[in-house]
Amino acid sequence: MTGEKKQTAQSNNIRAAKLIADTVRSTLGPAGMDKMMVDGGGNVIVTNDGATILQQLDIGHPGAKMIVEAANTQESMCYDGTTTTTVLAGSLLGNSEPLFSKGLHSNIICKGYRQAAKWAVDHIESTAVDAKEYLTHVAKTAITGKSLETSMEHVSALCVEAAEQAKGDIKRIRVIGQPGGSLDDSHCFGGVMLNQTFLTPNMPKIPYGKVLLINTGLSVKKEEGVQVNLQSVSDIKSYKQYADKDVWQGKVDAIVEQLPKGGVVFCRDSVNELVAALLAKNNISVAHRVPPSDLDALSTTLGAPINHSADDSLVAQKSEYLIEQKVIGDMDYILVEGDRVTTLVLRGATRQTLDETERGFDDALGVVCLAYNSGRVVTGGGSSYVGAALNLRSRAAEIGGRAQMAIEAFADALETIPATIAENAGFVPLDTILALRNEHQQGNQDAGPDIENGGTCSMIEANVWEPVGLVRQAILSASEVSISILRIDDIIGKKSDD
Ligand code: ADP
Ligand code: MG
């Protein structure tokens, strides 16, 4: 491999990665701007969310794709911090360039970066505090700068309520958007809401009834390979009666046997009207075409098993709660109360604002659950990154040799996070970094960028908090992807997988 070729592949990758970072950097922080994304068909998304922007970008360069992958990992593990990860990876790669020109080998840079990431994470974890009283602030920090901000108090309270109800298990929280109304009308419902109606109208409220979940349908199956010769209308009638009775009566009997005093049946597939009517006679209501995710949620909230066939050995569950059909706004819902699943009902004026609201809510909910589960938080605004940078500089000599230059480059990259937050709020990044270094040197570990007046301010007083797991993952994702990119010295075409 010639030195020139190696440099080209490396610098191409670095350039592409920096370009991606530059695309999203202006959205970082509470004063970050939004991006309007338009595709060939004229479809528009307006968003401030790093993950959404990166997912929608039309990216061809392999180096850039790796950065997007790192951001996706961050999103799937922590629900937030994607812009931070991308900007940090861009800075780590950008800061490696002067090291290359000074003659450092990429192995040395990678060694330094790997060590620096570990030290930075260790330092940040050592400064974390108990999350309990800060959950609302964690939600607010995640929401700032997003469209949800207009209803900050209400939204953050909802996120904490949902996270506490679900005991930090995000899988037990469902978010549904309902066009109409305003964000302030959003609320939490203890149980599952299905955007459905019962097949039999005038369903009474069903308190404490029995419920059957069936993972198939109750509709006509074509009898294959059978030829029936019908000669008259009465033949047709009697055949239909015979066929229907034959096909249905067994199923109806099995269901009625399980729900002798009436109840509710939820089916994943469609249900024949005749069956619904037969069941209605026995006070049994049926909802059909229930999506699998809704069926799972019902199973969780009711503690009911999902029956995989409608024929035999059906197992019903007694519900301790109310099941009712209700019109909310101008839509029909079936409400199934329960305490194991929480549904967040988001209201918004238009579908487009509602989509952005849902994205923001997903992030905020995820972050609050993360804080709830890990139980530890640190001050935000990039303050923990400044503390870690200071710590890295004081320890750089420990590693010895040229790798210490890489440790210092890593420390500089960490500082780009608060610097970019300040820059996006209209302040000079360099001044902010210098002021922040000064504050942290004096022991003010919570000093972060003041986005209102410039300079620095206390993140504790500004109530800006993040789960420590979010910061840890952002540093690890960014350093890992940077190291992977720095280790690539050539790009070679390969055969397609298929
Ligand atoms: P990401 O995709 O990385 O989450 P955001 O645009 O959501 O990017 O910005 C998150 C950063 O903004 C975090 O570092 C967070 O601590 C910081 N932040 C949030 N609110 C404030 C604030 N009021 N002052 C300073 N920084 C803030
Ligand atoms: Mg965020």
Q: Which ligand is nearest to the CA of 75?
A: 1
pLDDT number for residue 204: 56
The number of the ligand 1 atom at minimal distance from the alpha carbon of 27 is 6
356 alpha-carbon distance from chain centroid:
13
Report, in angstroms and rounded to the nearest whole number, the Rg of the chain calculated over CA atoms: 29
pLDDT number for residue 239: 61
Let me know if 431 is a catalytic residue: no
Angle (CA) 9-14-15 rounded to 5° is 100
From 48, 74, 79, 84, mutation site for ligand 1 pocket: most ligand atoms within 8 A of C-beta: 84
pLDDT number for residue 350: 75
pLDDT number for residue 223: 53
Q: Which residue has the tokens 């994702």?
A: 477
In the sheet that 129-130 helps form, which strands lie side by side, from edge to edge?
129-130, 376-379, 465-467
pLDDT number for residue 283: 84
From 25, 26, 27, 28, mutation site for ligand 1 pocket: most ligand atoms within 8 A of C-beta: 28
Averages of pLDDT over runs of 10 residues in the chain (498 residues) are 62 86 89 76 75 74 87 90 94 94 91 96 94 92 78 88 88 85 84 86 62 81 60 69 64 82 87 83 88 89 84 74 80 85 84 77 90 93 96 89 92 97 94 96 95 94 95 96 85 68
In the reported structure, the alpha carbon of residue 471 is separated from the centroid of ligand 1 by a whole-number distance in angstroms of 11
Q: Which ligand is nearest to the CA of 71?
A: 1
Q: Which ligand is nearest to the CA of 48?
A: 1
Q: Which two tokens stand for residue 344?
A: 């967040």
From 78, 144, 385, 457, mutation site for ligand 1 pocket: most ligand atoms within 8 A of C-beta: 144
Helix, strand, coil percent values for the chain (each to nearest 5): 55, 15, 30
178 forms bridges with which residues in the sheet?
Answer: 347
pLDDT number for residue 491: 65
In the reported structure, the alpha carbon of residue 142 is separated from the centroid of ligand 1 by a whole-number distance in angstroms of 7
Residue of minimum CA distance from atom 11 in ligand 1? 29
What are the phi and psi torsion angles at 393 (to 5°)? Answer: -65, -35
The number of the ligand 1 atom at minimal distance from the alpha carbon of 145 is 6
Contact at 8 Å (CB) between 436 and 447?
yes
Residue of minimum CA distance from atom 1 in ligand 1? 81
Let me know if 73 is a catalytic residue: no
Residue among 82, 85, 357, 456 flagged as catalytic: 82
pLDDT number for residue 28: 92
Residue of minimum CA distance from atom 24 in ligand 1? 381
pLDDT number for residue 468: 95
51 alpha-carbon distance from chain centroid:
10
Residue among 294, 362, 363, 446 flagged as catalytic: 363
> Ligand 1 site: residues with CB under 6 angstroms?
27-30, 32, 50, 80-84, 141, 144-145, 380-382, 421, 448-449, 451, 462, 464, 466
Amino acid present at 201: P
Q: Which two tokens stand for residue 458?
A: 């206390």
Contact at 8 Å (CB) between 304 and 298?
yes
The number of the ligand 1 atom at minimal distance from the alpha carbon of 449 is 25
User: What whole-number distance in Å separates Cα of residue 371 and Cα of residue 170?
Assistant: 12
In the reported structure, the alpha carbon of residue 85 is separated from the centroid of ligand 1 by a whole-number distance in angstroms of 12
Cα–Cα distances in angstroms (integers) from residue 163 to residues 146, 170, 347, in the given order: 20, 7, 19
Residue of minimum CA distance from atom 15 in ligand 1? 381
Let me know if 49 is a catalytic residue: yes
Q: Is 375 left (phi over 0), alpha (psi -120 to 50) or beta?
A: left
Let me know if 332 is a catalytic residue: no
What are the phi and psi torsion angles at 437 (to 5°)? Answer: -60, -45
pTM of the model: 0.80
pLDDT number for residue 245: 61
Residue of minimum CA distance from atom 14 in ligand 1? 381
pLDDT number for residue 301: 86
Residue among 47, 52, 83, 343 flagged as catalytic: 83
The number of the ligand 1 atom at minimal distance from the alpha carbon of 85 is 3
The number of the ligand 1 atom at minimal distance from the alpha carbon of 417 is 14
Q: Which helix (H) or strand (E) holds 467?
A: strand 465-467
What are the phi and psi torsion angles at 421 (to 5°)? Answer: -60, -45
From 421, 471, 473, mutation site for ligand 1 pocket: most ligand atoms within 8 A of C-beta: 421
